[in-house]
Structure 1
């Protein structure tokens, strides 16, 4: 271990799902690791409360990002809440843990090699899930309610097969989801992996410390420059710097560090270290809308314990819609109140892509996020079919005891054009950014199949930004898997 003058074997930038897993693995292997985290630990009791995740928004524990106005969603901007505390967004998310579909990882394998295919991915999932005392991704116990049973019955009525779990890589049908909870409390990546890592002598936390740029000696990364209060701090890495800041902040840090399109960097006054034009491109996010019903009573608060996967009928291979039961929804039109329930529908294999850029003249300002929502008409068409399915599920007799009445989009909207208008007015992102530092073997990829940043040495990215294609469900499980695989690659010398 080497820590003289702030020197470590590895620097991990970000303590979210990926950073927590990587720090744990590298520290356990006997390496000295510095974790850089912009936030603080936060209120442990609030983080552990599975119903409190919405209370972090627009606080100091949220990066408070917003998108540019989006023409295809009636000019609306979209919020991007991201966790700014130990555990990153795993400390503020909905706790759903689903591995993803075999077809997702087959597509990854075509882009980045067989080492990212389903067979290798599922081994990594099994290894990280079996780590003694670590990940708690359990099927719901007390969270099961008659509402959940009604949703599953409605899905069965519509021909969606009942599933025990979704662990086998087949995202079709309806069933119970795994949740990162234990004994009714959140057990995010920080508790499962980061805290055990910090309990050792190998891993140090540098929190309330914002990474400004990666430092280079020629084309080799040797450290990170940070801001802690009014102080500038430099930490150095003898082996590697590993960026785990997520799909919004990872490209931002690379661009600040001189990795990107040289002409764009020049306009910002940033010297180019490596010409990698793909940095910040290929942004994807799941899109969500749904059908809202007023009722005699509302769904009790709780995590998303059941989900269904269905096909919109478009050209995408496999299920491209994920549906679930929600307590209430504040849509772009009006709030139906507490005596209501929503069948939400997310498009989980969107074709639209956006970008993340630096603000002109302000390299340390918030990133400029252009989501690109609905810029590919196939996404709009799929969501129209998703709304139709959601409203049909809510009308099934399994919900009849609460006498539901469709409030949104409303029974008067029938045609595809009318429902498309509703989608444009109501759709939001699901806050699942992916793909902005995608891996691959082509010239437009940002990292190679071993997650090494192109054109430089000693620098990798390992988080949801490297996904070449979005996964067909929430990305938290896949992000942890990527970090587990990154540790394998690093520790084997690849």
Structure 2
């Protein structure tokens, strides 16, 4: 194996694989170093096995600090630890988010390359859209990732659709077309009942890939130019163009800080010499979820996962979900909460309806990873996961040790703002209203609350909802912002104060996006690859 490459990529995750493929296919020498294995076993590749990957060797199994917003619980958080990264262990959700999220990103950093109109090209480039009659102005039809939507007909399809409409949600058949507000078909990227890991979807045949290898630090010369990397076993590799850090929003800040890029005072605590004093690890944002469980009236009809009658072969081809709703916080509630948080009235967050919360109905009792409250997967329950999509709370990721094999410290400060608490309440009330409709009441027998608690309704108090989140709230594993564009990197992902070092993953997102980060990160990877190749011409 050569020791010198034009590009050295630290982290073989979603974006790392996109960059490695595009750069190597264009004729550049590329090394990818991944801490985990390359593995495509049945457990990884199967849609129905995805929930069982938590706590395995294919993930970084992190735990947050105690979170006051979640009842002082420490909750688990995860990132992929294998070639393909989180695209190799996620649930396959495929949502772009709202066009205004990207416009807010572009405005925050002063560069229109990141607005939705410019990112659309890259969204189209990544996908093969499931509907051949879809608009070519919005979707791609020849990309490496195939998507599906409403591909399976479940027994409760019509009752849940009717319930969402009756609850006041408008039907939106095009939720991935730039405006997700309303409810529409649930979109995934499972293909022929198999996962599409980034390392399979993107051709890595011309890249050199080293797995099961942990990067200890990025190396610099006296001019603060990144020259390569050193692994924990002492092996060194040289980069003649750039070192690209794509370790994910929890491991990327750790590697940067171990390399001397970070808050000077914090680095000094770990006796790490500072090369660039930057707010690495700050601006950390993550999405949280809270789930309701609903007992079915006639579970013997095979309505939910766990029932022997919930057995059509196609039900194993993806998540047991058909409809997803994206919901804004009611404007009066949003403004009142934002005033408490002293958010600037001119902030884009307050200017128009945004996709603050996501509400799903799952034909299984799907609980968040941090909640200890579970009900059996025996066909007797369905559930309503509610996800806070645009958190305004900001936490931080810090070092626990100068040892690269020791996990960083995660303090996301979930629900630290009144704005976030108002948003998650609004989403929970909508989930409750959906299940209070006549269409839903015909199939459910009521809510199954945590032990010692009463069922709640949409007419309950804010305090009731807050107490419930304290018990069941958990991470939805959408970590971002820890090497933010504008403060840590410039708009071309170059780390400030040094040369030949870029961060190219969700760490750079200065603001959250109202979608699950898989689709945005594929598009982001394509955008960065094009940018790198264009700079060489």
TM over 0.5: yes
Cα deviation, residue 363, structure 1: 5.2
Equivalent in the alignment of 2:216: 212
Is 1:138 aligned to 2:168, yes or no? no
After TM superposition, the structure 1 stretch with the greater mean CA deviation from structure 2, 428-437 or 174-183, is 174-183
Question: What is the distance in 2 between the residues matched to 1:59 and 1:290?
Answer: 23
Could you say which residue in structure 2 is the equivalent of 1:488?
A: 530
Match status 1:63 vs 2:60: yes
- What are the equivalent positions in structure 2 for 1:78-89 lying under 5 Å apart? 78-89=75-86
CA contact (8 A) 2:272 2:402 kept: no
Q: Which residue of 2 aligns with 1:350?
A: 391
Map of 1:94-243 to 2, 5 A cutoff? 94-112=91-109, 113-129=111-127, 130=140, 132=142, 134-141=144-151, 143-193=152-202, 196-197=203-204, 199=205, 202-218=206-222, 219-227=224-232, 231-243=233-245
What SS does the corresponding residue of 2:394 show, helix, strand or coil?
coil
Task: Tell me whether 281-290 or 395-404 shows the greater mean CA deviation.
Answer: 395-404
Question: 1 CA distance for matches of 2:443 and 2:208?
Answer: 53
SS of residue matched to 1:52: helix
Identify if the C-alpha distance between structure 1 residues 51 and 466 changes in structure 2 by more than 3 Å, giving closer, same or farther. Answer: same
| Contact preservation (8 Å) 2:98, 2:355 | no
The Cα shift of 1:254 comes to 0.4
Once residues 211 and 361 of structure 1 are traced to their aligned partners in structure 2, the CA distance between those partners, rounded to angstroms, is: 13
Q: Give the Å deviation of 1:248.
A: 0.3
1:83 Cα deviation from its structure 2 partner: 1.3
CA gap of 1:395–1:250, structure 2 versus 1, over 3 A, is same
Q: Distance in 2 between matches of 1:471 and 1:364?
A: 30
- 2:427 matched to 1:386? yes
Contact 2:365 2:381 in 1 (8 A): yes
2:341 equivalent in structure 1: none
Give ranges in structure 1 of 5+ residues lacking alignment: none
How far residue 68 of structure 1 moved from its aligned partner, in angstroms, is 0.6
Counterpart among 410, 434, 439 of residue 485 in structure 2? 439
- 1:201-229: CA deviation from partner (whole Å, max 9, x where unpaired): x30110000111101112111111113xx
Counterparts of 1:370-385 in structure 2 under 5 Å? 370-385=411-426
What is residue 289 of structure 2 aligned with on the other side? Answer: 288
CA deviation digits over 1:148-190, x for unaligned, max 9? 4332221111222212232321020111132111112111322
Give the C-alpha shift of residue 364 in structure 1. 4.0
Q: Which segment drifts farther, 332-341 or 231-240?
A: 332-341
* TM-score w.r.t. length of structure 1: 0.92
User: Is 1:325 matched with 2:364?
Assistant: no
Equivalent residue number for residue 311 of structure 2: none
Q: In the TM superposition, what is the alpha-carbon distance from 1:69 to its structure 2 partner?
A: 0.9
SS in 2 for 1:481: helix
Quote the residue 2:508 is aligned against. 466
- Compute the displacement of 1:362 (Å): 4.2
Q: Deviations over 1:326-364 (max 9, x none)?
A: 211447463233311111111101111111111146454
| Structure-2 change in CA distance of 1:458 and 1:289 (3 Å) | same
**2:90: which partner in 1?**
93
Match of 2:455 in 1: 411
Question: What is the CA–CA distance in structure 2 between the aligned matches of 1:234 and 1:57, rounded to whole Å?
Answer: 32
Q: What's the counterpart of residue 22 of structure 1?
A: 19
Q: CA deviation at 1:373?
A: 0.5
Distance of 1:40 and 1:275 partners within structure 2: 33
In the other structure, the counterpart of 2:344 is none
> What is the CA-CA distance between 1:95 and the residue it aligns to?
0.4
The secondary structure found in structure 2 opposite 1:232 is coil
Superposition pairs of residues 355-370 of structure 1, within 5 angstroms: 355-360=396-401, 362=403, 364-370=405-411
Structure 2, gaps ≥5 residues long: 128-139, 306-314, 336-349
Q: TM-score, normalised by structure 2?
A: 0.85
